[in-house]
Amino acid sequence: MSIRYSRRLVLPTLLLAVSISFGFGIPATSETITGTRFEQYTQWQNLPLQEYLRVILADEEGAVALGPLDPLIATKPHSFGYHEVRVLCADLEAARNAVELIKAGDSLPVHRVFWYQDKVSEPPPNGLRAALVTFENGPSIVVTTINQMRFLVWARETLMESRLQVDPEALREYARAVSDYLFALDKGFDEASAPIATEYNLPEEVDFYARPPDYVIEGYQNYKDFLGVHAPIHTDYATGILSFVPGDSLLQAIKAGAPEALFPNKEAPMFQEEYRKFLERGGDVRTLKTLTREGFDTLQAGEYFFAVGANGTVRFGRELLRDEVERIEQETGRKVPRANHAFLFPGEAILTAGAFFIARDTVPRIVEVNAQSGHYFYSNVSATIRDDIAVRSDYYLGTLGHFFIALDSLGIPYDGVLISKM
Protein backbone atom coordinates (compact mmCIF):
# COMPACT_ATOMS: atom_id res chain seq x y z
CA MET A 1 0.00 0.00 0.00
CA SER A 2 1.34 3.46 -0.86
CA ILE A 3 0.19 6.76 0.56
CA ARG A 4 -0.60 9.98 -1.23
CA TYR A 5 -1.64 13.31 0.17
CA SER A 6 -5.12 14.39 -0.77
CA ARG A 7 -5.23 17.60 -2.78
CA ARG A 8 -8.27 18.70 -0.80
CA LEU A 9 -7.01 18.21 2.76
CA VAL A 10 -3.61 18.82 4.27
CA LEU A 11 -3.03 17.20 7.66
CA PRO A 12 -0.14 15.19 9.12
CA THR A 13 -0.11 11.58 7.94
CA LEU A 14 1.17 8.40 9.51
CA LEU A 15 1.29 4.93 7.98
CA LEU A 16 0.97 1.87 10.18
CA ALA A 17 1.36 -1.77 9.28
CA VAL A 18 -1.28 -3.17 6.92
CA SER A 19 -3.54 -5.88 8.26
CA ILE A 20 -5.18 -8.09 5.65
CA SER A 21 -7.70 -9.60 8.03
CA PHE A 22 -9.98 -6.92 9.33
CA GLY A 23 -13.60 -5.99 9.80
CA PHE A 24 -15.68 -2.88 10.00
CA GLY A 25 -17.74 -3.54 13.09
CA ILE A 26 -20.42 -1.12 14.18
CA PRO A 27 -23.58 -1.65 16.21
CA ALA A 28 -26.78 -1.79 14.18
CA THR A 29 -29.05 1.22 14.58
CA SER A 30 -32.36 2.39 13.20
CA GLU A 31 -30.31 4.18 10.53
CA THR A 32 -28.99 0.93 9.03
CA ILE A 33 -30.61 -2.22 7.67
CA THR A 34 -28.64 -5.24 8.78
CA GLY A 35 -28.99 -8.94 9.62
CA THR A 36 -32.22 -10.63 8.60
CA ARG A 37 -33.68 -7.37 7.32
CA PHE A 38 -30.67 -6.92 5.04
CA GLU A 39 -31.12 -10.43 3.66
CA GLN A 40 -34.83 -9.86 3.07
CA TYR A 41 -34.21 -6.53 1.36
CA THR A 42 -31.62 -7.94 -1.03
CA GLN A 43 -33.63 -11.10 -1.77
CA TRP A 44 -36.50 -8.96 -3.11
CA GLN A 45 -34.29 -7.45 -5.83
CA ASN A 46 -35.00 -10.07 -8.55
CA LEU A 47 -31.75 -9.33 -10.37
CA PRO A 48 -32.54 -11.40 -13.52
CA LEU A 49 -35.74 -9.40 -14.06
CA GLN A 50 -33.91 -6.11 -13.57
CA GLU A 51 -31.20 -7.13 -16.02
CA TYR A 52 -33.84 -8.14 -18.58
CA LEU A 53 -35.50 -4.76 -18.24
CA ARG A 54 -32.18 -2.94 -18.65
CA VAL A 55 -31.61 -4.72 -21.95
CA ILE A 56 -35.14 -3.97 -23.15
CA LEU A 57 -34.91 -0.30 -22.13
CA ALA A 58 -31.31 0.26 -23.20
CA ASP A 59 -32.22 2.81 -25.87
CA GLU A 60 -35.06 4.53 -24.02
CA GLU A 61 -33.84 7.83 -22.61
CA GLY A 62 -35.29 8.62 -19.21
CA ALA A 63 -36.19 5.10 -18.04
CA VAL A 64 -34.18 3.01 -15.60
CA ALA A 65 -34.84 -0.37 -13.97
CA LEU A 66 -34.48 -0.32 -10.19
CA GLY A 67 -35.31 -2.60 -7.30
CA PRO A 68 -38.40 -2.41 -5.08
CA LEU A 69 -38.87 0.90 -3.30
CA ASP A 70 -39.25 -0.68 0.13
CA PRO A 71 -39.80 -4.47 0.21
CA LEU A 72 -39.77 -4.55 4.04
CA ILE A 73 -43.14 -2.79 4.27
CA ALA A 74 -45.76 -5.33 5.35
CA THR A 75 -47.90 -6.53 2.46
CA LYS A 76 -51.19 -4.66 2.57
CA PRO A 77 -53.76 -3.69 -0.06
CA HIS A 78 -52.27 -0.19 -0.21
CA SER A 79 -48.63 -1.30 -0.46
CA PHE A 80 -48.79 -1.39 -4.28
CA GLY A 81 -45.57 0.08 -5.61
CA TYR A 82 -43.33 -0.89 -2.71
CA HIS A 83 -42.60 -4.57 -3.40
CA GLU A 84 -42.40 -4.67 -7.19
CA VAL A 85 -39.30 -4.17 -9.31
CA ARG A 86 -39.74 -0.73 -10.84
CA VAL A 87 -39.06 1.06 -14.07
CA LEU A 88 -38.57 4.65 -13.01
CA CYS A 89 -39.22 7.20 -15.76
CA ALA A 90 -38.51 10.88 -16.17
CA ASP A 91 -42.07 11.69 -17.28
CA LEU A 92 -45.31 10.23 -18.62
CA GLU A 93 -44.05 10.04 -22.19
CA ALA A 94 -41.02 8.03 -21.11
CA ALA A 95 -43.30 5.79 -19.04
CA ARG A 96 -45.58 5.10 -22.02
CA ASN A 97 -42.59 4.38 -24.24
CA ALA A 98 -41.14 2.03 -21.63
CA VAL A 99 -44.39 0.05 -21.42
CA GLU A 100 -44.49 -0.35 -25.20
CA LEU A 101 -40.89 -1.57 -25.27
CA ILE A 102 -41.60 -4.07 -22.50
CA LYS A 103 -44.70 -5.33 -24.34
CA ALA A 104 -42.60 -5.81 -27.47
CA GLY A 105 -40.05 -7.97 -25.68
CA ASP A 106 -40.39 -11.63 -26.64
CA SER A 107 -38.24 -13.29 -23.96
CA LEU A 108 -40.73 -12.47 -21.21
CA PRO A 109 -44.26 -12.22 -22.65
CA VAL A 110 -46.54 -9.65 -21.05
CA HIS A 111 -49.82 -10.97 -19.67
CA ARG A 112 -51.51 -7.66 -18.79
CA VAL A 113 -50.89 -3.94 -18.50
CA PHE A 114 -53.12 -1.85 -16.30
CA TRP A 115 -52.69 1.90 -16.03
CA TYR A 116 -53.70 3.38 -12.69
CA GLN A 117 -54.02 6.93 -13.91
CA ASP A 118 -57.61 8.04 -14.28
CA LYS A 119 -59.66 7.85 -11.08
CA VAL A 120 -62.78 7.53 -13.25
CA SER A 121 -61.75 4.10 -14.51
CA GLU A 122 -60.54 2.58 -11.26
CA PRO A 123 -59.15 4.21 -8.11
CA PRO A 124 -55.44 3.36 -7.90
CA PRO A 125 -54.30 1.55 -4.75
CA ASN A 126 -52.96 4.11 -2.24
CA GLY A 127 -53.32 6.91 -4.80
CA LEU A 128 -50.41 5.89 -6.99
CA ARG A 129 -50.70 6.66 -10.72
CA ALA A 130 -48.59 4.05 -12.49
CA ALA A 131 -48.68 1.08 -14.85
CA LEU A 132 -48.79 -2.41 -13.38
CA VAL A 133 -47.27 -4.88 -15.85
CA THR A 134 -47.68 -8.60 -15.20
CA PHE A 135 -45.80 -11.25 -17.13
CA GLU A 136 -47.10 -14.64 -18.16
CA ASN A 137 -44.75 -16.49 -15.85
CA GLY A 138 -45.90 -14.61 -12.77
CA PRO A 139 -43.73 -11.62 -11.80
CA SER A 140 -45.03 -8.09 -12.04
CA ILE A 141 -43.37 -4.70 -12.26
CA VAL A 142 -44.44 -1.11 -11.79
CA VAL A 143 -43.68 1.55 -14.41
CA THR A 144 -43.87 4.93 -12.75
CA THR A 145 -42.67 8.51 -13.04
CA ILE A 146 -40.33 10.44 -10.78
CA ASN A 147 -43.25 12.43 -9.41
CA GLN A 148 -45.32 9.34 -8.61
CA MET A 149 -42.28 7.85 -6.90
CA ARG A 150 -42.25 11.01 -4.79
CA PHE A 151 -45.83 10.22 -3.83
CA LEU A 152 -44.86 6.74 -2.64
CA VAL A 153 -42.00 8.09 -0.55
CA TRP A 154 -44.31 10.59 1.11
CA ALA A 155 -47.08 8.01 1.60
CA ARG A 156 -44.65 5.62 3.27
CA GLU A 157 -44.10 8.19 6.02
CA THR A 158 -47.76 9.18 6.38
CA LEU A 159 -50.43 6.82 5.08
CA MET A 160 -48.58 3.71 6.24
CA GLU A 161 -47.40 4.91 9.65
CA SER A 162 -49.81 4.03 12.45
CA ARG A 163 -48.06 6.49 14.78
CA LEU A 164 -49.99 9.33 13.17
CA GLN A 165 -52.96 10.17 15.36
CA VAL A 166 -55.00 12.04 12.78
CA ASP A 167 -58.43 11.84 11.19
CA PRO A 168 -58.03 8.96 8.67
CA GLU A 169 -60.61 10.35 6.28
CA ALA A 170 -58.93 13.77 6.27
CA LEU A 171 -55.61 12.05 5.60
CA ARG A 172 -57.07 10.06 2.70
CA GLU A 173 -58.57 13.23 1.24
CA TYR A 174 -55.24 15.01 1.53
CA ALA A 175 -53.43 12.03 -0.03
CA ARG A 176 -55.75 12.20 -3.04
CA ALA A 177 -54.98 15.91 -3.35
CA VAL A 178 -51.23 15.22 -3.23
CA SER A 179 -51.61 12.55 -5.90
CA ASP A 180 -53.65 14.94 -8.07
CA TYR A 181 -50.98 17.65 -7.67
CA LEU A 182 -48.17 15.35 -8.75
CA PHE A 183 -50.20 13.97 -11.62
CA ALA A 184 -50.82 17.54 -12.79
CA LEU A 185 -47.05 18.10 -12.81
CA ASP A 186 -46.63 14.93 -14.85
CA LYS A 187 -49.16 16.22 -17.37
CA GLY A 188 -47.17 19.42 -17.80
CA PHE A 189 -49.09 21.78 -15.54
CA ASP A 190 -45.99 23.32 -13.99
CA GLU A 191 -47.99 25.98 -12.17
CA ALA A 192 -49.99 23.43 -10.16
CA SER A 193 -50.15 24.34 -6.47
CA ALA A 194 -49.24 21.85 -3.79
CA PRO A 195 -52.06 21.15 -1.29
CA ILE A 196 -51.49 22.35 2.27
CA ALA A 197 -52.00 19.85 5.09
CA THR A 198 -53.32 22.39 7.59
CA GLU A 199 -56.14 23.25 5.18
CA TYR A 200 -57.31 19.65 5.68
CA ASN A 201 -57.12 19.99 9.48
CA LEU A 202 -53.93 17.94 9.53
CA PRO A 203 -50.70 18.77 11.38
CA GLU A 204 -47.85 20.51 9.56
CA GLU A 205 -45.58 17.46 9.74
CA VAL A 206 -47.97 15.62 7.37
CA ASP A 207 -47.54 18.26 4.67
CA PHE A 208 -46.01 17.10 1.40
CA TYR A 209 -43.50 19.92 1.71
CA ALA A 210 -43.13 19.73 5.46
CA ARG A 211 -40.46 22.02 6.89
CA PRO A 212 -37.30 20.01 7.58
CA PRO A 213 -35.45 20.30 10.88
CA ASP A 214 -32.77 22.96 11.24
CA TYR A 215 -29.16 22.12 10.55
CA VAL A 216 -27.33 20.91 13.64
CA ILE A 217 -24.17 22.79 12.63
CA GLU A 218 -24.95 26.28 11.39
CA GLY A 219 -23.06 27.55 8.36
CA TYR A 220 -21.80 25.42 5.48
CA GLN A 221 -18.14 26.21 6.17
CA ASN A 222 -18.57 25.28 9.85
CA TYR A 223 -20.08 21.96 8.73
CA LYS A 224 -17.19 21.32 6.34
CA ASP A 225 -14.65 22.23 9.01
CA PHE A 226 -16.29 19.79 11.42
CA LEU A 227 -16.08 16.99 8.87
CA GLY A 228 -12.47 17.88 8.15
CA VAL A 229 -11.50 17.27 11.76
CA HIS A 230 -12.65 13.65 11.32
CA ALA A 231 -11.04 13.14 7.92
CA PRO A 232 -8.01 11.16 9.23
CA ILE A 233 -8.44 7.40 8.93
CA HIS A 234 -8.34 5.15 12.00
CA THR A 235 -8.69 1.52 10.97
CA ASP A 236 -6.98 -1.83 11.51
CA TYR A 237 -4.76 -1.26 8.49
CA ALA A 238 -3.87 2.44 8.73
CA THR A 239 -4.27 5.29 11.17
CA GLY A 240 -3.72 9.02 11.16
CA ILE A 241 -3.59 9.36 7.39
CA LEU A 242 -5.99 11.19 5.08
CA SER A 243 -5.87 8.84 2.12
CA PHE A 244 -4.06 5.82 0.73
CA VAL A 245 -3.49 3.80 -2.41
CA PRO A 246 -4.10 0.14 -1.52
CA GLY A 247 -2.20 -2.81 -2.88
CA ASP A 248 -3.95 -5.81 -4.35
CA SER A 249 -4.18 -7.75 -1.09
CA LEU A 250 -5.66 -4.82 0.80
CA LEU A 251 -8.17 -4.16 -1.98
CA GLN A 252 -9.28 -7.77 -1.79
CA ALA A 253 -9.66 -7.44 1.97
CA ILE A 254 -11.69 -4.24 1.63
CA LYS A 255 -14.04 -5.94 -0.80
CA ALA A 256 -14.35 -9.05 1.35
CA GLY A 257 -15.01 -6.92 4.43
CA ALA A 258 -17.64 -4.67 2.86
CA PRO A 259 -20.43 -4.67 5.47
CA GLU A 260 -23.80 -6.30 4.87
CA ALA A 261 -25.70 -3.15 5.67
CA LEU A 262 -28.01 -0.79 3.80
CA PHE A 263 -28.33 2.90 4.56
CA PRO A 264 -31.61 4.84 4.23
CA ASN A 265 -31.57 8.54 3.40
CA LYS A 266 -30.90 10.40 6.65
CA GLU A 267 -32.11 13.66 5.13
CA ALA A 268 -35.50 12.36 4.01
CA PRO A 269 -37.33 15.40 5.48
CA MET A 270 -35.64 17.52 2.80
CA PHE A 271 -36.36 15.11 -0.04
CA GLN A 272 -39.52 16.62 -1.54
CA GLU A 273 -38.33 20.21 -1.33
CA GLU A 274 -35.04 19.27 -2.99
CA TYR A 275 -36.94 17.67 -5.85
CA ARG A 276 -39.19 20.71 -6.20
CA LYS A 277 -36.20 23.06 -6.45
CA PHE A 278 -34.41 20.75 -8.89
CA LEU A 279 -37.40 20.41 -11.23
CA GLU A 280 -38.51 24.05 -11.00
CA ARG A 281 -35.00 25.19 -11.92
CA GLY A 282 -35.07 23.08 -15.05
CA GLY A 283 -33.24 20.02 -13.76
CA ASP A 284 -33.45 16.87 -15.86
CA VAL A 285 -33.22 13.47 -14.19
CA ARG A 286 -31.93 12.09 -17.48
CA THR A 287 -28.54 13.52 -16.52
CA LEU A 288 -28.34 10.83 -13.82
CA LYS A 289 -26.93 7.65 -15.31
CA THR A 290 -26.35 3.98 -14.61
CA LEU A 291 -22.67 3.13 -14.84
CA THR A 292 -21.75 0.77 -17.68
CA ARG A 293 -18.44 -0.18 -19.25
CA GLU A 294 -19.36 1.51 -22.50
CA GLY A 295 -20.65 4.62 -20.78
CA PHE A 296 -17.55 4.90 -18.61
CA ASP A 297 -15.38 5.34 -21.70
CA THR A 298 -17.30 8.53 -22.56
CA LEU A 299 -16.85 10.25 -19.18
CA GLN A 300 -14.99 13.52 -19.08
CA ALA A 301 -12.51 14.56 -16.40
CA GLY A 302 -14.03 15.77 -13.15
CA GLU A 303 -15.95 14.78 -10.04
CA TYR A 304 -18.99 12.49 -10.04
CA PHE A 305 -21.25 11.65 -7.11
CA PHE A 306 -22.40 8.03 -6.98
CA ALA A 307 -24.34 5.45 -5.01
CA VAL A 308 -24.49 1.67 -5.15
CA GLY A 309 -27.98 0.22 -4.79
CA ALA A 310 -29.02 -2.94 -3.00
CA ASN A 311 -28.88 -4.68 -6.39
CA GLY A 312 -25.21 -3.76 -6.86
CA THR A 313 -25.97 -1.20 -9.58
CA VAL A 314 -23.91 2.01 -9.64
CA ARG A 315 -25.81 5.22 -10.40
CA PHE A 316 -24.02 8.55 -10.74
CA GLY A 317 -24.21 12.21 -11.73
CA ARG A 318 -21.76 15.00 -12.49
CA GLU A 319 -20.83 17.07 -9.46
CA LEU A 320 -20.79 20.86 -9.72
CA LEU A 321 -18.45 22.51 -7.24
CA ARG A 322 -20.04 25.14 -5.01
CA ASP A 323 -17.74 27.89 -6.33
CA GLU A 324 -18.68 27.01 -9.91
CA VAL A 325 -22.39 27.06 -9.04
CA GLU A 326 -22.06 30.49 -7.44
CA ARG A 327 -20.19 31.82 -10.48
CA ILE A 328 -22.84 30.54 -12.91
CA GLU A 329 -25.67 31.92 -10.80
CA GLN A 330 -24.02 35.34 -10.57
CA GLU A 331 -23.44 35.46 -14.32
CA THR A 332 -26.89 34.22 -15.35
CA GLY A 333 -29.05 35.46 -12.49
CA ARG A 334 -30.69 32.01 -12.37
CA LYS A 335 -30.48 29.24 -9.81
CA VAL A 336 -28.60 26.15 -10.95
CA PRO A 337 -30.49 22.84 -10.59
CA ARG A 338 -28.40 20.48 -8.49
CA ALA A 339 -29.06 16.78 -8.09
CA ASN A 340 -27.70 14.80 -5.16
CA HIS A 341 -27.16 11.27 -3.88
CA ALA A 342 -30.81 10.88 -2.85
CA PHE A 343 -31.90 11.27 -6.51
CA LEU A 344 -29.88 8.26 -7.68
CA PHE A 345 -31.95 5.58 -5.90
CA PRO A 346 -34.82 7.79 -4.71
CA GLY A 347 -36.45 6.45 -1.57
CA GLU A 348 -34.31 3.30 -1.51
CA ALA A 349 -31.63 2.24 0.93
CA ILE A 350 -28.14 1.93 -0.58
CA LEU A 351 -24.93 -0.01 0.04
CA THR A 352 -22.54 2.92 -0.25
CA ALA A 353 -22.29 6.43 -1.61
CA GLY A 354 -19.60 8.98 -2.26
CA ALA A 355 -17.68 10.56 -5.12
CA PHE A 356 -15.24 9.35 -7.73
CA PHE A 357 -12.84 11.51 -9.68
CA ILE A 358 -11.96 10.98 -13.33
CA ALA A 359 -8.71 11.98 -14.98
CA ARG A 360 -8.48 11.66 -18.74
CA ASP A 361 -5.69 11.53 -21.30
CA THR A 362 -6.53 9.09 -24.10
CA VAL A 363 -8.95 7.18 -21.86
CA PRO A 364 -10.74 7.99 -18.59
CA ARG A 365 -9.26 6.72 -15.32
CA ILE A 366 -10.70 6.63 -11.80
CA VAL A 367 -8.00 8.32 -9.76
CA GLU A 368 -9.80 9.02 -6.47
CA VAL A 369 -12.85 7.77 -4.58
CA ASN A 370 -14.35 8.72 -1.23
CA ALA A 371 -17.32 7.87 0.97
CA GLN A 372 -18.58 11.44 1.35
CA SER A 373 -22.38 11.70 1.40
CA GLY A 374 -24.40 14.07 3.52
CA HIS A 375 -27.66 12.36 2.66
CA TYR A 376 -26.59 8.88 3.67
CA PHE A 377 -23.59 9.27 5.97
CA TYR A 378 -22.93 12.79 7.27
CA SER A 379 -26.36 14.34 7.54
CA ASN A 380 -26.35 17.82 9.05
CA VAL A 381 -29.96 17.37 10.15
CA SER A 382 -29.13 14.19 12.09
CA ALA A 383 -29.20 14.94 15.81
CA THR A 384 -26.35 12.51 16.43
CA ILE A 385 -23.89 13.89 13.88
CA ARG A 386 -21.57 15.21 16.59
CA ASP A 387 -21.79 12.03 18.67
CA ASP A 388 -21.34 9.20 16.20
CA ILE A 389 -19.12 10.58 13.45
CA ALA A 390 -15.81 9.41 14.94
CA VAL A 391 -16.84 5.74 14.86
CA ARG A 392 -19.07 5.84 11.82
CA SER A 393 -16.76 7.70 9.45
CA ASP A 394 -14.24 4.84 9.42
CA TYR A 395 -17.08 2.34 9.05
CA TYR A 396 -18.39 4.22 6.02
CA LEU A 397 -14.95 3.96 4.43
CA GLY A 398 -15.31 0.17 4.45
CA THR A 399 -18.57 0.36 2.49
CA LEU A 400 -16.52 1.40 -0.57
CA GLY A 401 -15.79 -2.30 -1.01
CA HIS A 402 -19.20 -2.53 -2.67
CA PHE A 403 -18.17 0.12 -5.21
CA PHE A 404 -15.03 -1.81 -6.13
CA ILE A 405 -16.99 -5.05 -6.43
CA ALA A 406 -19.35 -3.30 -8.85
CA LEU A 407 -16.42 -1.93 -10.88
CA ASP A 408 -14.99 -5.45 -11.10
CA SER A 409 -18.28 -6.80 -12.43
CA LEU A 410 -18.34 -4.07 -15.09
CA GLY A 411 -14.72 -4.56 -16.07
CA ILE A 412 -13.81 -0.98 -15.16
CA PRO A 413 -10.20 -0.65 -13.92
CA TYR A 414 -9.22 1.43 -10.90
CA ASP A 415 -5.50 0.72 -10.56
CA GLY A 416 -3.74 3.16 -8.26
CA VAL A 417 -6.98 4.69 -6.95
CA LEU A 418 -6.60 7.05 -4.01
CA ILE A 419 -9.11 6.25 -1.24
CA SER A 420 -10.31 8.66 1.45
CA LYS A 421 -13.25 9.13 3.79
CA MET A 422 -14.15 12.66 2.71
pLDDT in tens, 194-242: 999 999 999 998 999 999 999 999 999 999 999 999 999 998 888 899 9
Listed in order, strand segments (DSSP E) in 188-318 are 233-234, 239-241, 243-244, 261-262, 289-290, 302-309, 314-318
In angstroms, the CA 340 to CA 380 distance is 15
Cα-flanking dihedrals φ and ψ of residue 213, to 5°?
Answer: -65, 160
Is the model's pLDDT at 369 over the cut of 50?
Answer: yes
pLDDT for residue 7 is more than 60? no
Q: What is the pLDDT of residue 156?
A: 86
What's the whole-number average pLDDT of the chain?
Answer: 87
CA–CA gap between residue 147 and residue 154 (Å, rounded)? 11
Instruction: For residue range 341-362, list pLDDT tens digits in order.
Output: 999 999 999 999 999 999 998 8
pLDDT at 193: 95
pLDDT, position 11: 30
Give the residue, 286 or 3, on which the prediction is more confident. 286
Q: What mean pLDDT is predicted for residues 315-344? A: 84
Which pLDDT does position 324 carry in this prediction?
Answer: 76
Report the candidate in 277, 353, 270, 278 with the shortest Cα–Cα distance to residue 309. Answer: 353
Q: How far is CA 417 from CA 77, 332, 390, 400, 404, in A?
A: 48, 37, 24, 12, 10
Residue 21 pLDDT exceeds 70 = no
Query: pLDDT above 70 covers what percent of the chain?
Result: 89
Half-sphere exposure of residue 421: CA atoms within 13 angstroms, side-chain side: 25
pLDDT given for residue 308 in this prediction: 98
Give percent above pLDDT 90 in the chain.
Answer: 70
Side by side, the strands of the sheet bearing 140-145 are 63-66, 85-89, 140-145, 130-135, 110-116
Confidence of residue 77 (pLDDT cuts 50, 70, 90): low
Which of 6-15, 181-190, 211-220, 222-231 has the least mean pLDDT?
A: 6-15
163 or 23: which leads in pLDDT: 163
Give pLDDT, residue 158: 81
How many CB atoms are closer than 10 A to CB 96? 14
Position 163 scores a pLDDT of 59
Global confidence as pTM = 0.90
For residue 245, count other CB atoms closer than 10 A to its CB: 17
Please give the average per-residue pLDDT across 162-166, as a whole number.
69
Q: Which residue has the higher pLDDT, 24 or 178?
A: 178
Q: Give the H or E element holding residue 391.
A: helix 385-398
Give me the pLDDT at residue 20, please. 35
Residue 323 has what pLDDT? 76
Q: Return the SS3 of 261.
A: strand
pLDDT higher than threshold 50 for residue 18: no
